[in-house]
Chains A and B, each alone.
Chain A
Amino acid sequence: MLAQFGYGILLITFLLSLYAIAAAVHGYFTQSTRAIESARRSMLLTFPLISLAAASLILLLVQGDYNVQFVYEVTSRSMPTYLKITAWWGGQAGSLLFWSWLMSAFATAATLRKWDRDIEFLPWVIVVASVTLAFFLALNILFEDPFARLYQTFDGSIAAYQFAPAGATPVVPADGRGLNPLLRHPGMIIHPPLLYLGFVSYVIPFAFAIAALITGRTDDRWIRLTRRWSLWAWLFLSFGLVLGGRWAYDVLGWGGYWGWDPVEIAAFMPWLTGTAFLHSVMIQEKRGMLKQWNMVLIILTYALVIFGTFLTRSGVLSSVHAFAQSAIGPSFFVFIGATFVTSIALLLHRWNDLRAEAEMKSLLSREALFLLNNLLFMSVLVVCFWGVIFPLISELFTGQKVTVGPPFYERANSPLFAALMLLMGIAPLSAWGHSTMQTLGRALWKPAIAAGLGTVAIYFTYTTHIIALIGFFLVFFVILVTLYEFWRGARARQRAQNEHFFTALSRLTGRNRRRYGGYIIHISMMLMAIGILGIELFQSETQGTVQVGESLNLQHYQLVYEDIARFTGPDGREVTRAVIQVYKDGQPVAELHPRTDYYWEAQQNMTIPGVRSTLADDVYVLLVDWEPASAIGATFKVYVNPLVNWLWLGSFLFLAGVVVAAWPDKDPESVTARARARGARQISAAD
């Protein structure tokens, strides 16, 4: 019953969003406020409706109704309740529903805002949000039905149906197959929703952009309205990426966090256009330039978000072999193609309205450097996109399938990343409109020399690796320039307002949230860069088979194998857990417990590392092999990953930076908007 109910709700919501599209379009062209209001209410209704469908699915998952195919595939009796709930996004059908649910939540939030001044945008925001929603609902209804139930037909085969053929009998398996063990990790429980939050929240700025194109209101209003959306979207996407890396580091047991896998790149690509967008909108706001370009960026971001959902969701790319093999593949391509072509056509239609109001004059001006930043982000995007589609291109032209692996991305992207870092150091000190070598040089020489001295110190104490030295120089340079900017601003304010230095610093940041929040984000990126340099360039490893009491040595570390035990874990998995005592230069520093978990139901092993993490390095131990009966001992693989902790540390500072930049209060824009709205109401009350 519950399953039919859920499916029915999905159908109704789908029809409702079609109605919202029709009513909004009709309302716009006939100037009918009633029709638009009706569309808005329908849009608002989708959220409670999809919540109801989602609640049905969760209930089915928790109850363990294995007649429902999706429940059978992602849960089992032995799973704890919280995992049964999070299994909602543990499979294709459920995660598409999750996408729709988030979409309707964000559309609701956007529809509920005060529209006073921007009422002409409303119908088109509703249309874009509803079209996207209807597409994802259609996928659920037509191809990936989370509520389909298992039936045995008269010829004996078992398959899932929503509408069972005549004579079929329902099948209720005794137990489900259970969630993929790889997905039973806290990181994996939070990582997909965060990524999806990021993906879905980019739909809103896109919707406003399209509304601006259609209505012809092509000033920077749509950007100001969605500035905070874009920031939160960017935060979620960034955090989704970092958490994915953390999950790989903690669970996948290969000592790394990022493998340039096509699925990772699929999530990385909208991040690149989103980051470029975040920067280039500032030029439009400040100088009235790059308007067409911003449109291109947000359209690309939307297309890449849908593309990313498709790649991560369809499961086609875990094999490098396959492109669209799932039933939903063609629909995705059609949808991406149709929305992309429509958006670009609208953009071309308004092309002349979007001409720049000023001309770029100086190569070193702030706006020129922002443009360069955009160019670099787009270059990284092109590199990534090329790498993903290269197998298809090569097969098309040579008949031979040729792929490119991580070395391609690393080699092609490293100079681009270095250039971006350099830019992060220079751009904050250049002036809008006009900058010369001389003015820039005056501002930059002190931090540059200090960074140079720091690098020399690194050369004598830590490493002589040339790429690492360049990297560390850039890191020092950016951090020093940025701190210098904070110091300069705070000092100026301290003198002018006669405040204490720290009061001045916090007020300065509070009054220019976006700017200084952005600087904090820059510093956080540098911390992450330290971690990446460390693990990429200085990772060392060893492996060996040892008896109890013997030890393995790597760098300053001695790892003594003390004990091992095999026992049954709480959810039926078989745990083999070793005890390793870690000594650093002869001093005991930690006890690690690398282990392997064997899941009987999935017949799969999970290798969980034991990690001792400090700011200097991580000791990362994997239990590779051990058999109770054999006398040859246990085999371990050990990595020392220098500095990798800075990567995770940087991500926390990153969070702080985005919160500073996006914090709603005390923002002059929203304050003036509110004041204007108040004024507008008074005027309407007067007449």
Chain B
Amino acid sequence: MNKLFIDNSINIEDIVIDQDLDLKIDFKDEKKNLTINVLPNVCLRVFDTSNNTKNSITYNISENTQVIINKFSIDCSDEITLNINKENAKITFNTSLINYSDNTYRQTVNHNCMNSESKIKNHALNILDNELKLVVNGIVKKNSKNTIFRQDNKIINLKDGNSFIFPNLIVDNHDIEASHSAYIGKFDEDVIFYLMTRGLTRKDANSLLIKAFLINNMSLEENEIAILDAVVKNV
């Protein structure tokens, strides 16, 4: 598969993807508008490791496409929009966020056609006492028969952060499958106790759970796991 790497050094606002592609996005301290147009019959895999960004990224997705996005970000107030415009598009979008300051992460999925599928999974770790908002909108239009839309959102507060999830689902067609869930809380004390009964310190138990929560919820390759492992170890 072809590879494309985008970071701060590349001044680009529109990308057209007309063949299978591995796209790596790595913006730092950036506020950028980016539109990614995925043309028909394309398989796109995105690995986004942007940090401290306020980006606005829009994906326009055509027919017979498969898009897998793994986004791992620290202190992210990005706004991501997925416009599923044509039939037989299948989207998997896994986000893992580490939050150290006040942030709002917005994600909108517009199902504008029939026979499309999107699965959204957002996991966020709010480290300190800051405010973190996840606004996740799923909009299924009237003409979107046979759509499957699922969103699953979790925020773990390590301390006493103010965390909010807005799992919005606006559906205008009866012939679809849709679900949304939201959980905000701490790691389960029973789970930590179980790990500690095997000799792990509370810190080691937390590290294992953080890694599981942020990394193992995404479908990553070995080298990508190694990159994120190093980041997560410093949490």
Whether both chains belong to one complex is answered with no
